[in-house]
Amino acid sequence: MSENRIFKEFCEKVYNKENNYSSICSKIKGGSGMKKKIFNIVAMLIIAVIVGTTAKGVYAKIVWNIAYEEYRNRNVITKSIAIDETAKNKYSENLNMEYMYQDGIGIKLNSIMITNDYCQIDFDIKLEEEISKFEEKIRYGIAIYDENNNIYIIHEWKHEKNLYMKKLYKELGLKSNNSNNILQSSASFKSSKLTMTSDVGFPKSKKLYVRMFDIGYEDFEIDPKTLKDIYHNDIYLSDSEWQFEIDIPEKFYERTEIELKLLEEAKGIKLNKAELTETALTMNIEIDQMREFLLDGKDMEKEEFDKLRNAAFYISDEDDNIYMAIDFGTGEGNEINARFGIGKEILNKKIFLNISLNNIQEKIELIQK
């Protein structure tokens, strides 16, 4: 009955009442199916005593121990995945795995892609037939980290105040108040696809751990006139966890990046960084009057402004193919960060940075440093 260890220790060390602990447990009959009931009943009794007799700090510690003990004894289903080293696709892999079912819910990982600045994981969640109509509204928690405890992401839906993060940190032996293990990345959730990008680069991980938990869905209806919820319910379907351990192929982590520079300098343009990976060109650049240009467009419709921005800042090649920024963000002053969906193979041609912005009209070749 390992779940009750913390209560037994509390009774012994704080109240010195081992007989009370034994008495409580002996009055509850049942086999392994009663473990959680025993745990909850003893928890309530002990908490009732603590509330009346101990300081808030001790109470908070006991509550935390209860939560962590429940976390340690949750239902977990695991799967190890080895990616075929000989597969032809160089930068992403289909995993070809079957659904792993638990609590009537099936989860499978479909594919994974990792480059220096980009990580994408596609997956599917299948619900039981009677609630499958809510699959478009599925919500979940997910945590991804590698063999060196670099945290790619911890996204919580059900838990409050980063409670899952604290539990995972404790399990991994990390200090909960130290965020050094969390990578500097941004994440996008679209249906059953998780995409992460990083300006500083992802580590060259040899193993990834993907955990999915708190599977559920949002049941809601929106008033088409006010766009406010008529009703909104969060439905949690499982307290279980799905864990995937993925061995990353050498071709993923033995990757290199190519740094680019401008063939010639241009007034009003400062290229701080241009890095070409297998799947993308990322760029940090300062362009005079860019801030004013962006501010002028703040009241425009998004589609209209995107057209203006794409005409003012893009990449082209010697065959006059044009590549627009697929991600675009601002920094300090006139600094912008942009990501273009072109990989290393683009170097088979000449490529150019094109800027058409007020007094700056430039087309400058980008070359390897």
Same domain, 231 and 362: no
Same domain, 227 and 315: no
Same domain, 263 and 166: no
Query: Which CATH number characterizes residue 306's domain?
Result: 2.60.40
Nearest partner of 237 among 78, 122, 127, 109, judged by Cα: 127
Same domain, 223 and 270: no
Report residue 251's pLDDT band, with 50, 70 and 90 as the boundaries.
confident
Q: Of 179-188, 237-246, 301-310, 343-352, which range is least confident?
A: 179-188
Range(s) of the domain holding residue 317 = 258-368
Examine the fold and report which residue of 214, 232, 253 is the final residue of a domain before the chain moves on: 253
Same domain, 124 and 238: yes
Same domain, 280 and 324: yes
CB 120, CB 185: distance < 8 Å = no
pLDDT tens track for 116-134: 878 889 999 998 877 777 7
Same domain, 113 and 179: yes
Same domain, 169 and 88: yes
Same domain, 188 and 138: yes
Examine the fold and report which residue of 253, 275, 290 is the final residue of a domain before the chain moves on: 253
Q: What is the pTM of this model?
A: 0.69
Nearest partner of 102 among 139, 76, 138, 81, judged by Cα: 76
* Rounded Cα–Cα distance for residues 296 and 26 (Å): 74
Per-chain mean pLDDT for the chain: 81
Single-letter residue type at 212: M
Tell which wins on pLDDT, 5 or 324: 324
CB 297, CB 309: distance < 8 Å = yes
Same domain, 332 and 238: no
Residue 20, classified by CB atoms within 10 Å of its CB into exposed (0-12), middle (13-18) or buried (19+), is middle
Examine the fold and report which residue of 225, 253, 281 is the final residue of a domain before the chain moves on: 253
CB 269, CB 287: distance < 8 Å = yes
Same domain, 274 and 247: no
pLDDT tens track for 121-179: 999 999 887 777 777 788 899 999 999 999 999 998 875 667 899 999 999 999 865 66
Q: Of 3-12, 35-44, 312-321, 350-359, which range is least confident?
A: 3-12
Q: How many domains does the chain have?
A: 3
Same domain, 268 and 241: no
Report residue 3's pLDDT band, with 50, 70 and 90 as the boundaries.
very low
Residue identified by tokens 């680069």 is 201
pLDDT at 314: 95
Mean pLDDT of 282-309: 86
